[in-house]
Amino acid sequence: MQAASSNWKPNLGGRLPAQIRRALPIYFGVILFIFFLSYGNAFTPSFEVAHVKKRSYSSQGVLSTGLAPRPSKGFPKKIWQTWKIDPLGFEERDLTCARTWTQKNPGHRYEVLTDNNDVYYVETHFGPEGINRSDIVEVYRSLTAKIIKADLLRYLVMYVEGGVYADIDVEALKPIDRFIPERYSAADIDMVIGVEIDQPEFAAHAILGPKSMSFCQWTFMCKPGLPVMLRLIKNITVWLENLSKKQGVPISDLKLDFDEVISGTGPSAFTTAVLAEMSIKTGQDVNWDTFHNIPESKVVGGVLVLTVEAFAAGQGHSDSGNHNARTALVKHRYHASKWPTAHPRYKHPVYDEVEKCNWEVDCVKMWDYNTALFEGLSEEEKQKLIIEKNQADMQKQAEDTELARKLEQYEAARLANEVANPAPAPLLQPAMQVPVEAFPSPQPQGFPAQVARGFPALQPVAAFPPAT
Ligand SMILES: *[C@@H]1O[C@H](CO)[C@@H](O)[C@H](O)[C@H]1NC(C)=O
Ligand SMILES: *[C@@H]1O[C@H](CO)[C@@H](O)[C@H](O)[C@H]1NC(C)=O
Ligand SMILES: *[C@@H]1O[C@H](CO)[C@@H](O)[C@H](O)[C@H]1NC(C)=O
């Protein structure tokens, strides 16, 4: 290096004017600086720290010692949903739900991919102008099963752009800022997911087993370009192509039952892919044990896994608590979850769907016992039970219809009565509307008069016979 410079320095000196020679160190400095800027990525850590420090000094006058979030390493501030139509045409309940996201996250962009623009989106980003994966575009284009398209589309969007994905019937309870607990830095996390079903005691169950341990994919958050998303997408396309061969029909004509949807593209597929990725990242075999009954969120291989109540509170199983929990981030309203109609679950002709047990151990045991017993019966006995079951169903349906009719009649009579007597004395009159003069003598106990009137059962304590 020294030899080289001493070689050309005299040369230069011979040709360049003295002013330029004196300025050479400055040129060098400028070139070095430009080099540094262009290859900034290679120096990211020191560069970022310097940047953060400077900002902390100037904004607060003190050096913040905490790990400041690094914007370039954060999650894209974007919320994604997919639905038949765009939000300007949403019906009221979808609008109300969608607004919870925009209102709680004013700093985020919001976009809905629809049945009319989804293919264009996929072609743009996965076609030759995008990452050039025509295999993926082809599969997406030929899909007709709505739930499969919806599952796949969320993975495609999360791979391309990242941000938060939420199903159309999911309400935001907390701002997205709350997805990552304070003890973590967003820079260290690639993905935020939550537990949905945590019932490993059913792992060996023929029907429930494959669904008994899963992460939730009706809401999750990603940074763009995660290998796990692309692997999941790729696996789904291969699975669909396999199935197409097996059924001997094109992908557009595939027949899929409930369990195939769940394990092919739904939560089970998502969970398998995430666990596989965690294993790759950590070099260890990561399985569900790591997430069973977790008392707090944890990060494994760059994936932050939140406890079940974060995205799946109030399920009545998996110890999911309720939506009032501080850690409950969203509420799944399920009003758009009608897809099982098109992809039926296994339904026993007498004992119905085991899913109706909602993961209750005794109920599942009873279902298993009954269905096993049923298998041992003669065809004749089976038919007899099935007929009885159908009759019971019809009876129940008739009763339900009758009850609904009576309720309707009652309601009609009540309304008619209200019209005939425009000012009926309501049973529970709001306090503000009760004229004071209507109660000339306030009760000595201090009970509000209308309480004594509206709730006849409420008695002053003194009225109870003394305990003996
Ligand atoms: C896209 O990939 C195909 C092979 O799958 C290749 O033939 C084609 O040249 C690629 N196009 C671009 C724009 O890279
Ligand atoms: C697809 O089929 C091949 C060959 O039978 C098999 O090895 C592979 O595991 C299958 N992949 C998926 C995702 O179903
Ligand atoms: C790929 O899909 C198949 C079939 O659904 C599944 O058995 C396998 O575990 C999946 N692999 C990953 C990494 O998702």
pLDDT value of residue 73: 76
CB-ligand 2 contact for 243 (6 Å cutoff)? no
With a cut of 50, say whether residue 136 has pLDDT above it. Answer: yes
pLDDT value of residue 399: 94
pLDDT value of residue 335: 82
Every domain of the chain with CATH number 3.90.550 lies at 76-341
Secondary structure string (H, E, C) spanning the chain:
CHHHHHHHHHHHHHHCCHHHHHHHHHHHHHHHHHHHHHCHHHHHHHHHHHHHHHHHHHHHCCCCCCCCCCHHHCCCCEEEEEECCCHHHCCHHHHHHHHHHHHHCCCCEEEEEECCCHHHHHHHHHCCCCCCCHHHHHHHHHCCCHHHHHHHHHHHHHHHCCEEEECCCEEECCCHHHHCCCCCCHHHCCEEEEEEEECHHHCCCCCCHHHCEEECCCEEEECCCCHHHHHHHHHHHHHHHHHHHHHCCCHHHCCCCHHHHHHHCCHHHHHHHHHHHHHHHHCCCCCHHHHCCCCCCEEECCEEEECHHHHHCCCCCCCCCCCCCCCCCEEECCCCCCHHHCCCCCCECCCECHHHHCCCHHHHHHHHHHHHHHHCCCHHHHHHHHHHHHHHHHHHHHHHHHHHHHHHHHHHHHHHHHHHCCCCCCCCCCHHHCCHHHCCCCCCCCCCHHHHHHCCCCCCHHHCCCCC
pLDDT value of residue 450: 35
CB-ligand 3 contact for 275 (6 Å cutoff)? no
| CA of 134, closest atom in ligand 1 | 5
pLDDT value of residue 341: 78
| CA of 277, closest atom in ligand 3 | 13
With a cut of 60, say whether residue 60 has pLDDT above it. Answer: no
pLDDT value of residue 422: 75
pLDDT value of residue 345: 85
pLDDT value of residue 456: 33
The pTM assigned to this predicted structure is 0.73
Q: Greater confidence, 173 or 33?
A: 173
- What's the gap in Å between 242 CA and the centre of ligand 2? 6
Structure confidence at residue 43 as a pLDDT band (50, 70, 90): very low
Q: Greater confidence, 243 or 14?
A: 243
- Tell me which of 3.40.50, 1.20.120, 2.60.40, 3.90.550 is the CATH number of domain 76-341: 3.90.550
Q: Closest ligand to 280 CA?
A: 3
With a cut of 50, say whether residue 282 has pLDDT above it. Answer: yes
- Percent of the chain at pLDDT > 70 equals 75
With a cut of 70, say whether residue 93 has pLDDT above it. Answer: yes
Structure confidence at residue 50 as a pLDDT band (50, 70, 90): very low
Q: What is the pLDDT of residues 412-427, one digit of tens each?
A: 999 888 888 876 555 5
Identify whether the C-beta of residue 290 lies closer than 8 Å to the C-beta of residue 300. Answer: yes
CB-ligand 2 contact for 242 (6 Å cutoff)? yes
- What's the gap in Å between 272 CA and the centre of ligand 2? 15
- The preferred substitution site among 233, 237, 238 for testing ligand 2, maximizing ligand atoms within 8 Å of CB, is 238
Identify whether the C-beta of residue 247 lies closer than 8 Å to the C-beta of residue 133. Answer: no
Q: What is the pLDDT of residues 351-365, one digit of tens each?
A: 999 999 999 999 999
| CA of 129, closest atom in ligand 1 | 13
Structure confidence at residue 338 as a pLDDT band (50, 70, 90): confident
- The preferred substitution site among 148, 237, 242 for testing ligand 2, maximizing ligand atoms within 8 Å of CB, is 242
- What's the gap in Å between 366 CA and the centre of ligand 1? 57
The residue-averaged pLDDT of 447-452 equals: 34
State the average pLDDT for the chain. 81
Write the residue with the smallest CA distance to atom 2 of ligand 1: 132
With a cut of 70, say whether residue 69 has pLDDT above it. Answer: no
The residue-averaged pLDDT of 243-253 equals: 96
| CA of 238, closest atom in ligand 2 | 13
Q: What is the pLDDT of residues 355-413, one digit of tens each?
A: 999 999 999 999 999 999 999 999 999 999 999 999 999 999 999 999 999 999 999 99
